[in-house]
Structure 1
Amino acid sequence: MKKLTVLFALAASPALAASGPFFSLRNTDFVVLLAFLLFIGFLIYLKVPALLGGMLDKRAEGIRAELDEARALREEAQTILASYERKQKEVQEQSQRIVAHAREEAEIAAAQARKELEASITRRLQAAEEQIASAEAAALREVRDRAVAVAVAAAADVVAKQMTGAAGDALIDDAIKQAEAKLH
């Protein structure tokens, strides 16, 4: 560390600086200034600043073109986004319409099924009532037929007990006369 401080002290000392007049070729500061000015003049002679300016202008134009392209792409992306949002909204509205239509159809189908069920129940009740009425009529006929058979049998017994031979012949003759009168 001590060596570094000694070197800095020597470099900063006036003994190492240029000696003599400034505009002398023996003065290193003047020689460095002349070399620098010659270098700058040589660069200007070769039109390096114009080349650098042209390169910077080209770069600026490239950046401007990229910015314009980016703006155009952004506008296109916004247009596409708006289009997709519109399409999404349309699809959502269409799906809502489809769901509403399906609900309406389901309600109509349910109402129709109820009506058909009620009609079926009415038909079955009517058929059952008709079967009951038919069964009642058949039962009544059977009861009447039996009552007639019982009455005929009872009347036959009564008539057989009360009937004598001469009275039976008179009844038969009378029946034959009535049949002849009705047939002629």
Structure 2
Amino acid sequence: MLMEAEFWVAVAFVVFVAIVWKVGGFDKLIEALDHRGVRVRKELDEARRLREEAASVLADYKRRRAAAESEAAAIVASAREEAERAAAEGHARLNEFVARRTKAAEAKIAQAEAQAAAEVRAAAADAAVRVSETILRERMSGDAAQDLVRRSLGEVRTRLRA
């Protein structure tokens, strides 16, 4: 048994453990493990705090996004209303313009009709006077006839032109 390698490995291990225990290596190992546990606990706390902070930032972002979406919807609705109002106003202006132009055209047509009727009346009066004058000259003769023709023609002219 003293010559076997396993025996000497076991003895060396026991001696090593005794030296480590005597020097206080186990206390330092336990202290190092405790420090590592504290550090891991701090890291976990920091990670939990960062997670809560990230959740808060995410909630704030979602709230802001919802507010921005509602504001964008309000802007779009306002723009639609403004466009509809502008279209209605433009339509009303166009209708008013067409009505004014139609009224002006009708007035011009009525004026042209009145002027044409007056010109036709004047032309008819002149033609009637000429025809009457010609007929009276051919049928009547003398100064009395000339006087009668002038008075009659003057009277016809004034009545037809009126």
Counterpart of 1:69 (choices 27, 46, 50) is: 46
TM-superposed deviation, 1:72:
1.1
In structure 1, how many angstroms separate the alpha carbons of the residues matched to 2:129 and 2:7?
A: 169
Counterpart of 2:113 (choices 136, 160, 167) is: 136
TM-score (norm 1): 0.70
- Residue pairs, 1:147-162, within 5 angstroms: 147-162=124-139
Structure 1 residue 105 corresponds to structure 2 residue 90:
no
> SS where residue 118 of structure 2 aligns?
helix
Q: How many residues align?
A: 149
Kept in 1: contact 2:20–2:26 (CA 8 A): yes
TM-superposed deviation, 1:110:
1.2
Structure with larger RCO (C-alpha < 8 A, sep 6+): 2
Partner of residue 41, structure 1: 18
Once the two structures are superposed, residues 55-113 of structure 1 have per-residue CA deviations (whole angstroms, 9 ceiling, x without a partner) of 10111111111111111111111111111111111111111111101110111011111
In structure 2, how many angstroms separate the alpha carbons of the residues matched to 1:81 and 1:135?
A: 79
In structure 2, how many angstroms separate the alpha carbons of the residues matched to 1:166 and 1:34?
A: 181
Inter-CA distance 100–57: structure 2 relative to 1 (3 Å threshold): same
Gaps of 5+ in 1: 1-17, 19-25, 175-184
TM-score (norm 2): 0.79
Amino acid at match of 1:135: A
Once the two structures are superposed, residues 123-181 of structure 1 have per-residue CA deviations (whole angstroms, 9 ceiling, x without a partner) of 12112211210111111011101111011112211332344324157669x9xxxxxxx
Which structure has greater helix proportion? 2
Q: RMSD across aligned C-alpha pairs, in angstroms?
A: 2.7
- Residue pairs, 1:1-184, within 5 angstroms: 18=1, 36-168=13-145
Identity of aligned residues (%): 40
Inter-CA distance 49–159: structure 2 relative to 1 (3 Å threshold): same
Gaps of 5+ in 2: 152-162
